[in-house]
Homo-oligomer: A and B are copies of this chain.
Amino acid sequence: MGNTFGHLFRVTTFGESHGGGVGVVIDGCPPLLEISQAEIQAELDRRRPGQSRITTPRQETDTCEILSGVFEGKTLGTPIAILVRNKDTRPQDYQEMAQVYRPSHADATYDAKYGIRNWQGGGRSSARETIGRVAAGAIAKKILQQVAGVEIIAYVRRIKDLEAPIDPNTVTMEQVESNIVRCPHPDYAEKMIALIDQVRRDANSIGGVVECVARNVPKGLGSPVFDKLEADLAKGVMSLPATKGFEIGSGFAGTLLTGQEHNDEFYSENGDIRTVTNRSGGVQGGISNGENIIIRAAFKPTATIGQAQRTVNQAGESTILAAKGRHDPCVLPRAVPMVEAMVALVLCDHLLRDRAQCHLLT
């Protein structure tokens, strides 16, 4: 259990970091969507290791194969299975971690829960698992774009204490992809890259905040009460590795305002009911209101670092670990497409749910 996400657009991922491969099965994709391997690959390329000097040097092309569900360039309405083989594996780098627990990593908890663990490269807890999510997200994005012109753009908003001033309402994918840290503000991007370079040389790591905007989201998505749109977005984002916090709209800062200051007043624009401000972040009462959906995710500094740390081994004996292996000094540049994917999965699922329930009798 726990490896499926979504109710109608159902995504099940599989695979460990070292083993036959990783992948995804997507059940519930509408038929007749034109989709190509290349479109999915383009998203995977944004996520893959080794894409720049500030990511892990592990060399994986992450080439995907569509095993099923697509015929003559179109989806069949049957499960779409996508497989990416593991290639550049170095199990020997992880030999020490077979016995010794990395602080703040999943090694110890996997052992405690399952009594067994593929210790090579993090096994199932590796961020490599997100390949399946990003592949599925590519399809969800295309559906959303085709049905409603939805546009989803994530970007690095903050690295450690370097916070870039960015307007989510106008940011473009081109700006985001114009630099290797994926911060759409060139000056801040430069500073962030320099900071990550420094941290990498120190065999240390840093975190930060990814922000994501979804534009042109139709009104009416979200299923109160438990499957409120913000609740499912929170779950999706908080299921990504290394996340420690989630916000929508005004978030934690919004708690410093009074209701009179915080409320988004309504106005009418060509018969469409809009809000003057958007502290709600595009969602009211768990349902999208047509304004831009804006969320933020806090990513902690990467747990695996080269510096020596005190820890214990499986027997509970104290020891020192200076992790080998190839790791990201900062996960955020590669987390950007992951956040986009999760937002796309949530929105696509709720688009289908809304069509099922609320458009039948009208």
Residue on B nearest A18 in the bound complex, by CB: B71
Asked if A170 is at the interface of the complex by the 8 Å CB criterion, the answer is no
| Contact A284-B244, Cβ < 8 Å, known A81-B14, A115-B31, A124-B224 | no
Which residues of A in the span 192-241 have a Cβ within 8 Å of any Cβ on B? 199, 204-209, 219-220, 222-228, 230-239, 241
Asked whether, in the complex, the Cβ of B266 is within 8 Å of the Cβ of A103, the reply is yes
> Is the CB–CB distance between B117 and A76 below 8 Å?
yes
Is there an interface contact between B260 and A204, defined as CB atoms closer than 8 Å?
Answer: yes
Residues of chain B within 8 A (CB-CB) of A19 are: 67-68, 71
- Chain B proximity of A155: nearest CB distance (Å): 15
State the CA gap A227–B66 with chains docked (Å): 24
Complex CA–CA separation, A220 to B106 (angstroms): 11
* A265: B residues at CB distance < 8 A: 103, 309-311
Question: Are the C-beta atoms of A68 and B263 separated by less than 8 Å?
Answer: no
B352 touches A360 (CB 8 A): yes
Interface stretch (choices A43-51, A53-61, A178-186, A245-253): A245-253
Closest to A130 in B: B225
The copy count of this chain in the complex is 4
A324 in the interface (beta carbon within 8 A): no
For A360, what are the chain B residues with a Cβ–Cβ distance below 8 Å? 30, 143, 147, 351-352, 355
The distance in angstroms between the C-alpha atoms of A14 and B129, with both chains bound, is 19
Contacts of A317 in B (CB 8 A): 268
Given contacts A245-B245, A284-B106, A287-B113, A298 and B255 within 8 Å (CB-CB):
yes
With a cutoff of 8 Å between Cβ atoms, the chain B residues found around residue A316 in the complex are: 268, 271-273
B-facing residues in A1-39 (Cβ within 8 Å): 1-5, 7-8, 10, 12-16, 19-23, 25, 27-33
| Residue tally, chain A, CB below 8 Å to B | 163
User: Cβ of A288: which chain B residues have Cβ within 8 Å of it?
Assistant: 109
Those of A339-357 within 8 Å (CB) of chain B: 351-357
Q: Is residue A318 contacting chain B, with contact meaning CB distance below 8 A?
A: yes
A138 at the interface (CB under 8 A from B): no
Given known pairs A68-B15, A109-B220, A227-B2, the reply for A298 and B252 (CB within 8 Å) is: yes
Q: How far is the CA of A25 from the CA of B3 in the complex (A)?
A: 10
- Min C-beta distance of A87 to chain B, whole Å: 14
CB distance B71 to A112 under 8 Å? no
Q: Which residues of B contact A239 (CB under 8 A)?
A: 225-228, 231, 286
Is the beta-carbon distance between A76 and B124 smaller than 8 angstroms?
A: yes
- What are the residues of chain B within 8 A of A241 when measuring CB–CB? 285
Chain B residues contacting A230 (CB-CB under 8 Å) are 238, 243-244
Interface residues of A in 315-344 (CB under 8 A from B): 316-318
A211 to nearest B CB, angstroms?
A: 12
In the complex, how many angstroms separate the beta carbon of A266 from the nearest chain B beta carbon?
4
In the complex, residue of chain B having the shortest beta-carbon distance to the beta carbon of A80: B14
Contact with B along A124-156 (1 / 0, CB 8 A): 110001000000000000010011000000000
**Chain B nearest CB: distance from A278 CB in Å?**
10
**Besides A106-B224, A254-B300, 5 other CB < 8 A contacts?**
A1-B353, A103-B264, A244-B255, A252-B252, A271-B316
In the assembled complex, 11 residue pairs joining A and B whose CB atoms fall closer than 8 Å, in A order, are A2-B222, A71-B116, A76-B116, A106-B286, A109-B288, A113-B219, A146-B361, A244-B248, A262-B301, A263-B303, A267-B318
Q: Top 10 closest A-B pairs, CB basis?
A: A106-B285, A2-B223, A205-B259, A356-B356, A2-B227, A20-B67, A235-B235, A109-B287, A259-B301, A268-B316
